[in-house]
Amino acid sequence: MKFRIIFCAAITLSLSLPTLTYAADAKSDVVTTLNANATLEEISNSARSGNAEAQFQLARRYDFGQGISQSDQQALYWYRKAAEQGNSMAQNSLGVMYGTGQGVTKDYQQAVSWYRKAVEQGNAIAQKNLGVMYENGQGVTQDNTQAVFWYRKSADQGYASAQNNLGTMYQGGHGVDQDNTQAVFWYRKAAAQGNAVAQFNLGYMYNVGKGVARDYDQAAFWYGKAADQGNVKAQENLAALYQTDQSALDDNGSDTSSAGGGGNHRKPGNRPTQRPSRPQGTPKPKPQVTVTPAPQPTPKPAPISPK
């Protein structure tokens, strides 16, 4: 089936700010030297004996309230213990806590300081987070070139969130020559790993024919992937694709219908999310949907991809 889009109102082309990744985002990928079946008591005893990995794991338990009462103060305490011993995951986590004011007074410079310690060890998540700080000018002088540098470092290690953010930099021409083909390249890499925002962004590129031949079937496919993970914009755009077979979208992503208006490609707000959204499925198509195709780097803290 071929799809077409029609807009019922002026389009808002917005790029969500890239997200700082909560340590929690990476914690699930941590390779631990502890027994996989270690009890909380064993982890706690090992942490108190000075084991940095155990300290990090204990901090994580407090951070998420896993088998123990959630406590930002205790999470901060144990992340710091592990970070001071050079645990890069803990250093990144401590940076996130300072960057978001979780359990401590918000301090962007301290956040940057801990991210730098982690990136010195090649931590991909911290590289992405440092890129976000440069893009937003938080704790450092705003510098898109440096943002691209750190996004690329992380993206080259396969980190999907950074790949998506690098795609948005190419699409917007921020810190790098504008290049929709490269934007599609990086969106596709992140989308293939299941990154919902990148799936939405890739669907958008197919939707409007940027960096790739316009293909409404592919747009619907990628919107559907993102919609199944709860991406609201993807749900709206997918619903609109099913509503009509007439296109009112020009190559610049602006509404060309009689009710149309222009759009902008800059990123809004930078308020961090607190928890990752849960998949909610694709809602039933609703009439008069306002379509908002818009590349969103990663929901930030759209810096912070939640815990």
| pLDDT confidence tier of residue 292, bands split at 50, 70 and 90 | very low
In the three-class reduction of DSSP (H, G, I as helix; E, B as strand; rest coil), residue 255 is classed as: strand
Could you report the per-residue pLDDT of 58-75, keeping only the tens digit for each?
999 999 999 999 999 999
pLDDT of residue 293: 46
Nearest to 88 by CA among 64, 53, 49, 36: 53
Mean pLDDT computed over 251-268: 32
Could you report the per-residue pLDDT of 105-148, keeping only the tens digit for each?
999 999 999 999 999 999 999 999 999 999 999 999 999 999 99
Is residue 11's pLDDT more than 90?
no
What is the residue-wise DSSP string for 130-190?
HHHHHHHTSSS---HHHHHHHHHHHHTTT-HHHHHHHHHHHHHTSSS---HHHHHHHHHHH
Q: How far from chain centre, in Å, is Cα 156?
A: 16
CA distance 224 to 231: 9
The CATH number given to 23-243 is 1.25.40.10
In the three-class reduction of DSSP (H, G, I as helix; E, B as strand; rest coil), residue 50 is classed as: coil
pLDDT of residue 242: 86
Assigned token pair, 55: 């300290």
pLDDT of residue 3: 54
Assigned token pair, 79: 């992340």
Mean pLDDT computed over 84-101: 97
Mean pLDDT computed over 13-28: 41
The residue extents of the domains of the chain are: 23-243
CA distances to 36, 44, 47, 71, 224 from 199, rounded to whole Å, are 33, 40, 40, 34, 9
Q: In this predicted structure, which of 28-37, 86-95, 133-142, 280-289 has the lowest mean pLDDT?
A: 280-289
